[in-house]
Chains A and B, each alone.
Chain A
């Protein structure tokens, strides 16, 4: 079993799914000859010259034409080069793709997976670093998926491509090449809508996704040195959310820390906090605490200060453990 980075695993998933299903088409800026600016589509043009397209530089056109392909029965996988560039296509995602099934009474559907790198950690300044998943999680009809390991990136991407509804597949750039993992060749899938317990624990639940799941594992490791057993839940799919896994954990530990790198106000973690407050408040021994990015644009020089790290999560653990 080869050890792969997340980039390689994504490439592998695309390649295998394109081999299995000739309806799968890849399109976007620089995805063909150049193999994508992060190389996720490297070599696909050579193997599938009829199904990989370098498009003009227009995100609305990329998403809009991919919607048309999906309406006709293809399984397009458009790439938006950075999530920060997605807004020219925002209207097409939220007003068209996400609403097509509802507005046509199921007569027309958009089985499309939009891949886009998101999040900080590569010194990209605010136009190559943001995590704006909350805008999209607020849109019924759309699914939002975030992998955090190479193997699961393959499984989740394969499931997304096969899903009958539009999926926004957010790839944490900080994890693109940060580690390798054994990734099986051949078909693997991870069902959408299921969170993973990354590390069991009895004292406090840490809830995160993407790169922040890794930060939480690091924080849990450090907390264990002080005798605090933190349970780490990686959501993997933001919409639809796996509520039972979160609730079961928080009911067990009685404490919750929600970690996301986006600005605090109105972030997706606020929804998690609200769900815990509504459905598990009688189990809570302390407040639900959020560890997040700041309510500022994403800074360049002080990126590492902006991004939540294990120490900030540890401070939050200390705070909730004091109750």
Chain B
């Protein structure tokens, strides 16, 4: 890979100029976050195939680019997700059971089954609600940052998006507004090479996505998206600068979507297995494990224990969530407006008065 920031070397040692100098606990917390997302993805894809959840969008291969970025943000900062970042929601404190309830759309789903699976939201962690259209979240992240700035608060916003989103009008508008108003927004592009079946070379003729930032009057940096420390370092510095009033920055994390776009997608229709295998060899978890081992913080026994622990946590959450019934029919009518207007109440009452067949 050309011109991308790397911190973890192949042998597990780190570039001393860029190493964020984690403690053992910090390093293991990051590894745990990535492992949780990996194991969750595999388990949820299996649940989807068994018909126990309706849909799933995995993040396989992007764990470093998601968890590494999310962990770089402070608790007062905001995260504006795309839709492939459950690992970031969990970093922000979303309980696993709540996430499972969202995937199942049951009565304890915080959004009452209003959205399809993977459209998480977690207000307590300043983690915004997700919509399916690509790129629409980008201007929101600029507006949130703008509001922080207007209030004189030293906070920053991290917004996730993919390579496909850089083609949208919302990307242009958001980057342009961020540049003009110098908002504290960190644009984290997960360039995973594929927008469903369309490769990044067909999204843009530009050599890199990061260089687009230059046209909006701020910096873009390209980092190795399979290297959690590189993503962390770039995001942390960008957020720090943003909080200090130095304006927005774009980070292009060069990564790869190893799995399908979603449980409804079959990537063998459009891409080469050899390409997937080449990226798999650069697995971000293996890379991070080498770093942990190099530091003397990890071994097979710890790995086995972590896998067991995460597996059990997920099993418990699945079991608890599956016991919860679907939402009551009245919830269809909830949360349209702050107060239910008369016409909606009338529709609800008329429906509820129908004989049940």
Does A50 sit within 8 A of B, measured CB to CB?
A: yes
Asked if A2 lies at the interface with its beta carbon under 8 angstroms from chain B, I say no
Docked complex: B125-156 residues within 8 A CB-CB of A: 128-131, 133, 136, 138-148, 150
Q: In the complex, what's the smallest C-beta–C-beta distance from A6 to chain B, in angstroms?
A: 26
Residue A107 interfacial (CB < 8 Å): yes
Q: In the complex, what distance in Å separates the CA atom of A88 from the CA atom of B110?
A: 31
CA distance A193 to B78 in the complex (A): 35
Q: Are A240 and B136 in contact (CB under 8 A)?
A: no
Contacts of A290 in B (CB 8 A): none
Question: Which residues of B are found within 8 Å of A61, using beta-carbon distances?
Answer: 139, 142, 170, 173-174, 176-177
A239 to B344, CA, bound (A): 11
Q: Which residues of the other chain, A, contact B174 by a CB distance below 8 angstroms?
A: 61, 64-65
* Cα–Cα, bound, A91→B131 (Å): 11
Nearest CB of chain B from residue A53's CB, rounded to whole Å: 7
Q: Which residues of B contact A68 (CB under 8 A)?
A: 139-147
Contacts of B296 in A (CB 8 A): none
Q: Which residues of B contact A96 (CB under 8 A)?
A: 131, 136, 140
Note all chain A residues with C-beta closer than 8 A to B334: 106
Residues in A whose Cβ lies below 8 Å from that of B338: 101, 109, 163-165
A residues contacting the other copy or chain, number (CB 8 A)? 49
In the assembled complex, the Cα of A67 lies from the Cα of B131 at a distance in Å of: 14
Q: Is B16 an interface residue (CB 8 A)?
A: no
Instruction: Answer whether residue B22 sits at the interface, using C-beta atoms and an 8 A cutoff.
Output: no
Do residues A105 and B111 form an inter-chain contact, with CB atoms below 8 A?
Answer: yes
- Kindly state whether residue A51 has any CB partner on chain B within 8 Å: yes
> In the complex, what residues of B have CB within 8 A of residue A25's CB?
150
In angstroms, Cα B342 to Cα A152, docked, is 22
| B43 within 8 A of partner (CB) | no
Task: Tell whether, in the assembled complex, residue A91 and residue B136 are in contact, meaning their CB atoms are under 8 Å apart.
Answer: yes
A88 touches B169 (CB 8 A): yes
- With an 8 A cutoff between CB atoms, is A141 at the interface? yes
**Cβ contact within 8 Å between A71 and B337:** no
Contact, CB under 8 Å: B139 / A92: yes
Query: Which B-chain residue is minimally distant from A64 (CB atoms)?
Result: B139
Given that A95-B131, A101-B338, A104-B129 are known contacts, is A71 also in contact with B170, CB under 8 Å in the complex? Answer: no
Distance A304 CA – B111 CA, assembled complex (angstroms)? 49
Q: Does A69 contact B (CB under 8 A)?
A: yes
* A81-112 contact mask (Cβ, 8 Å, vs B): 1 or 0: 00000001001100110011111111111000
- A43 sits at the interface (CB 8 A): no
Q: Which residue of A lies closest to B178 (CB)?
A: A65
Chain B residues within an 8 Å CB radius of A51? 150
With A53-B181, A107-B121 given, is the CB distance from A65 to B342 under 8 Å?
no
Q: How far is the CA of A88 from the CA of B173 in the complex (A)?
A: 10
A291 to B173, CA, bound (A): 40
Report if A101-B146 is in contact (Cβ < 8 Å); known contacts: A61-B139, A107-B129, A108-B128: no
- A286 adjacent to chain B (CB < 8 Å): no
Check B131 against A103 for contact (C-beta < 8 Å). Answer: yes
Alpha-carbon gap, A148 to B133, bound state (A): 36
B-contacting residues, A48-78, CB 8 Å: 50-51, 53, 55-56, 58, 60-61, 63-74, 76
Residues of A within 8 A of B343 (CB): 240-241, 243
Q: Is B114 an interface residue (CB 8 A)?
A: yes
A266 interface residue, CB < 8 Å from B?
Answer: no
Contact (Cβ within 8 A) B123 A107: yes
Distance A50 CA – B181 CA, assembled complex (angstroms): 12
B147 touches A69 (CB 8 A): yes
Is B143 in contact with A72, judged by CB distance below 8 angstroms? Answer: yes
Shortest A256–chain B CB gap in Å is: 18
State which residues 258-276 of B face A: CB under 8 Å: none
A64 with B138, Cβ < 8 A, contacts A103-B111, A103-B129, A105-B111 known = yes
13 A–B contacts, CB within 8 A, in A order: A56-B177, A61-B139, A65-B146, A72-B143, A72-B148, A88-B169, A95-B131, A105-B110, A107-B111, A108-B129, A140-B344, A141-B336, A164-B338
Given contacts A103-B111, A107-B129, 16 further A-B contacts (CB under 8 A): A51-B150, A58-B177, A64-B140, A72-B148, A74-B150, A95-B136, A99-B131, A103-B115, A105-B110, A106-B335, A164-B337, A193-B341, A193-B342, A239-B341, A240-B337, A240-B343
Chain A residues within CB distance 8 Å of chain B: 25, 50-51, 53, 55-56, 58, 60-61, 63-74, 76, 88, 91-92, 95-96, 99-109, 140-141, 143, 163-165, 193, 239-241, 243
B interface list, Cβ under 8 A from A: 78, 109-112, 114-115, 119, 121-123, 128-131, 133, 136, 138-148, 150, 169-170, 172-174, 176-177, 180-181, 334-338, 341-344
Going nearest first, the 3 A-B pairs with the smallest beta carbon separation are A68-B143, A64-B139, A61-B173
